[in-house]
Amino acid sequence: MTEYRFNGIRLDSASRRIVGPRGSVHLPPKPYEVLVELLHAACSVVTREALLDRVWPERPASDETLSRTITDLRKLLGDDSRAPRYIETVPKVGYRFLLDVERGDREPEPGPSPRRNRLGALAAALVVLALASAYLLRPDPEPRATVVVGSGILGVPIPLTTEVGDEDTPDFSPDGKQLVYAARDRGDENWDIRLRDLATGEATDLAGGPDREYAPVFSPDGRRVAFLRYRGERCQVVVKALDGGERPVADCQTPLMAYLDWSPDGRRIAFSQVPAQGGATLALRTVDLETRAIAAPVAAPPDGEYQFAPKFSPDGRQLAYVQGVLDRNELWLADLPSGRARPITAFGGRITGASWDGAGTGLYVATAAPAEPALWRVVPGRPAERLRGGEAFAIAFDHVHRRLVFDNIRPRTNIWSTRIGADGDADAPVRAVASTRIDFRPSVSPDGRRLAFVSDRTGHYEVWLADATGDAQRRLTQWQAADISRPAWSPDGRTLAYAVLRDGRWTGFLDPMDGTVRQRIPVEGQFRHPTWSPDGRWVLHADEQGIRRVSPGQWRVERVLDQAGAVPLFVRDQAVYFLQPGRPGIQRLPSQGPPDTLLAEHELVVPEAISSGGGHLYFIGSTPQDGIRRLFAHDMDSGGTRAILPLVAYARHAHTTATLDGATVYFSQTDDAESDLVVIDAPP
């Protein structure tokens, strides 16, 4: 039997396992075979054609199949395609294993009889199930299913919940034996509070009913749970004993589902609240459980910003929280005795979860686009340390077993089209682009015959093309990107402009449709949300300071608007339409005169959810009257607005594009999304 050794890691060919100092990971057949081919030719390039011929001799395989297998293999190795330590991509050629490899042989062990093999396989399966259960019960803090690879870890998330529906906002009990979380059945809008015994897997509903119960958190003694109960935007902070009744302790109001935390001394609960005097959109408050007194632990944020997701430090002297707008915020840290607060991250994206580590000196932080979707460890005063890639939501830390639990969302997003009649009504939508993954950010060409969109169906985000009906789909790019903006067609339909997120940086590109060389847009700073001027002479985009425009070919850059966070949407009648964080509606900057505002009464979702065509502005948003997210049409001449279609709730994947005549509107919507709670060992 052959063994391969590299960097303190051993690949056992008999068991197809990578074995390291702290555990082992089993490789599926195809990733194993690809790895062996690369190890055989260590430090040399193996072409894509050679890998396809040797690993898939029994049937034809595509480049996409190989790319997906390489992606799976990198995940198993804990490797990163953007900064590879093991497998390097040689563009348009193949792959190379970067390290020297030792190869040796060992004597095979005597094998059992065929009958004993079958019995052994059954016993092994039972052992695997037993080990998976024992993972949740282990009394020691040693990581399981983890291989140390260089300075990082290869962590294998293990499901804690697999219910049909959604599970969210988890929290471990102080002894690590129970998990409390919000759960809802598939198709149900209401959340209930569920308690799971991690030893037996038994789950019971702790609180439920016609209202939405959300964001539970254990008391420091583990005998009670606090949670939020919503009716519309009105809510209550409720405390419930595990073996008894419940009582509301504070009233609140929030425009979004918020979070709680319980102070380590058990005396206070922190939550978010719309201030009674107006002003800030959402500010932090604490309620004293003895006196019911409400206090502001930190100064209110600027108007239009949120403070949410509070987390008390283990000693109770500090409070971490998220501050900003929904799609761009940072983690802040407040010293509670003095009330002084400061931001401690600069990701430039969205924080989706944070939890203190066991020592109370740092926090585990999850980020999502427009920053890199990843899990980080943040120690104030030091650079953030990237632990692993991928999205994680609502993370919580188990101090006993040193593990993290988080919400793993699996949306299935498709692209639909609808015809707009002469009366302005929309026909029944037709699914144009569909897969089992995320297909979104559609962009229809000026002639209405082609559709560009973004998809993660290869395991990374890429730009894809299709015809107007969604047929003839093909991948345009091979960026293996963490994210890609909505592609923007030039007015002549010959070029796509888009922005690619790699290595934490957004970079712009022009992609000619005639197959000539792709061009990077050479501008300083970040390049996001490109859109073309109607004459095709300029590409407008967002950077850190505001909105700029660049001339393709000459690459001259001019200032359009100095407002940090502003995002261009489109140009019409020499006016620039844009979004500005903290301001309602859509802002319009005419060629002369001050800006004005459209649709201030609507809550808009994301920039990609807004497009124009046929004198109409199509957008996805909601109104305060019912909060239901719909596809709207706004007549830009008369100013009238009407809802034409309802959409599903997962807003961040809901985007629109319209043909120039406004006769056809494409939109992406999440047709199905479920989430499970998964656990992963925390790094030492």
DSSP one-letter string for 442-486: EEE-TTSSEEEEEE-TTSSBEEEEEETTS-S-EE-----BSEEPP
Same structural domain for residues 599 and 661?
yes
Residue 257's pLDDT is what?
A: 75
Mean pLDDT confidence for 605-615: 86
Mean pLDDT confidence for 69-75: 85
Q: Is residue 117 part of a domain?
A: no
Number of domains in the chain: 3
Residue 277's pLDDT is what?
A: 61
Instruction: Note down the domain range covering 60.
Output: 2-111
pLDDT of residue 278 exceeding 80, the answer is no
State the pLDDT confidence band at 154, using cuts at 50, 70 and 90.
very low
What does the alpha-carbon distance between residue 358 and residue 336 come to, in Å, rounded to a whole number? 20
DSSP state of 266: S
Q: Which two tokens stand for residue 354?
A: 């944070």
How many percent of the chain have pLDDT more than 70? 87
What does the alpha-carbon distance between residue 421 and residue 227 come to, in Å, rounded to a whole number? 47
Of 342 and 255, the structure prediction assigns the larger pLDDT to: 342
Q: Which two tokens stand for residue 48?
A: 């894509």
What does the alpha-carbon distance between residue 120 and residue 105 come to, in Å, rounded to a whole number? 25
pLDDT of residue 673 exceeding 80, the answer is no
What does the alpha-carbon distance between residue 306 and residue 284 come to, in Å, rounded to a whole number? 9
Residue 260's pLDDT is what?
A: 95
Same structural domain for residues 519 and 661?
yes
- E strands in 150-301: 152-155, 158-159, 165-172, 178-185, 192-197, 203-207, 212-218, 224-231, 234-241, 246-253, 261-262, 268-273, 283-288, 294-295
Nearest residue to 601 via CA among 613, 586, 585: 585
Nearest residue to 533 via CA among 501, 563, 560, 565: 560
How many percent of the chain have pLDDT more than 90? 45
Same structural domain for residues 182 and 264?
yes
Residue 112's pLDDT is what?
A: 36
Mean pLDDT confidence for 549-563: 94
DSSP state of 429: P
How do residues 387-436 score in pLDDT, each as one tens digit? 887 788 999 999 998 889 998 877 789 999 999 988 888 999 999 998 88
What does the alpha-carbon distance between residue 24 and residue 14 come to, in Å, rounded to a whole number? 14
Contacts of 528 (CB under 8 A, 6+ apart): 370, 485, 499, 506, 541, 542, 543, 567
What does the alpha-carbon distance between residue 45 and residue 137 come to, in Å, rounded to a whole number? 45
Q: Omega into 581 within 30° of 0, i.e. cis?
A: no
What does the alpha-carbon distance between residue 360 and residue 313 come to, in Å, rounded to a whole number? 6
What CATH number is associated with residue 100? 1.10.10.10
pLDDT of residue 159 exceeding 90, the answer is no
Q: Cα dihedral sign for 358, 266, 217, 233?
A: negative
Same structural domain for residues 254 and 305?
yes
> What SS3 state is found at 296?
coil
pLDDT of residue 675 exceeding 60, the answer is yes
Q: Is residue 120 part of a domain?
A: no
Residue 61's pLDDT is what?
A: 60
Residue 21's pLDDT is what?
A: 55
Residue 652's pLDDT is what?
A: 66
Q: Is residue 145 part of a domain?
A: no
Q: SS3 helix, strand, coil % of the chain, rounded to 5? A: 10, 45, 45
Among the listed ranges 72-81, 231-240, 507-516, which one has the minimum average pLDDT value? 72-81
Residue 258's pLDDT is what?
A: 85
pLDDT of residue 106 exceeding 60, the answer is no
Show which of 361, 376, 401 is a domain's final residue.
401
In order of 114, 256, 299, 327, 340, the CA distances from 305 in angstroms are 67, 13, 12, 11, 18
Residue 170's pLDDT is what?
A: 96
Contact 367, 351 (CB under 8 A): yes
Contacts of 433 (CB under 8 A, 6+ apart): 414, 415, 439, 442, 451, 453, 466, 470, 473
Among the listed ranges 136-150, 454-468, 575-589, which one has the minimum average pLDDT value? 136-150
Contacts of 540 (CB under 8 A, 6+ apart): 530, 531, 532, 533, 547, 548, 549, 560, 568, 571, 576
Same structural domain for residues 301 and 188?
yes
Residue 130's pLDDT is what?
A: 33
Q: What are phi and psi of 389, to 5 degrees?
A: -85, 170
Of 667 and 674, the structure prediction assigns the larger pLDDT to: 667
Same structural domain for residues 177 and 273?
yes
Residue 683's pLDDT is what?
A: 66
State the pLDDT confidence band at 522, using cuts at 50, 70 and 90.
very high
**CA-angle at 429, arms to 428 and 433, nearest 5°:** 160
Same structural domain for residues 545 and 457?
yes
Of 177 and 105, the structure prediction assigns the larger pLDDT to: 177
Same structural domain for residues 389 and 316?
yes
Mean pLDDT score of the chain? 83
Residue 149's pLDDT is what?
A: 28
Among the listed ranges 269-278, 421-430, 470-479, 548-557, which one has the minimum average pLDDT value? 269-278
What does the alpha-carbon distance between residue 159 and residue 149 come to, in Å, rounded to a whole number? 23
Q: Is residue 418 part of a domain?
A: yes
Q: Which residues pair with 229 in a beta bridge?
A: 213, 236
Q: Is residue 683 part of a domain?
A: no
Of 208 and 135, the structure prediction assigns the larger pLDDT to: 208
The most confident of 84-98, 181-195, 395-409, 636-650, by mean pLDDT = 395-409
pLDDT of residue 495 exceeding 50, the answer is yes
Nearest residue to 495 via CA among 469, 513, 515: 513
Q: Is residue 570 part of a domain?
A: yes
Residue 270's pLDDT is what?
A: 97
Same structural domain for residues 445 and 337?
no
Mean pLDDT confidence for 565-589: 89
Show which of 373, 401, 429 is a domain's final residue.
401
What CATH number is associated with residue 313? 2.120.10.30
- H-helix segments, 576-632: none
Q: How far apart are the first and last CA of the chain?
A: 34
pLDDT of residue 127 exceeding 70, the answer is no
Contacts of 126 (CB under 8 A, 6+ apart): none
Same structural domain for residues 50 and 84?
yes
Show which of 57, 78, 111 is a domain's final residue.
111
Residue 253's pLDDT is what?
A: 85
Contact 454, 462 (CB under 8 A): yes
Among the listed ranges 102-106, 314-318, 387-391, 392-396, which one has the minimum average pLDDT value? 102-106
In order of 206, 213, 254, 352, 398, the CA distances from 232 in angstroms are 21, 12, 9, 23, 32
Residue 144's pLDDT is what?
A: 28
Same structural domain for residues 435 and 570?
yes
Q: Is residue 140 part of a domain?
A: no
Same structural domain for residues 285 and 420?
no
Q: Is residue 148 part of a domain?
A: no
Q: What are phi and psi of 317, to 5 degrees?
A: -95, -15
What does the alpha-carbon distance between residue 453 and residue 498 come to, in Å, rounded to a whole number? 11
Contacts of 291 (CB under 8 A, 6+ apart): none
Of 645 and 536, the structure prediction assigns the larger pLDDT to: 536
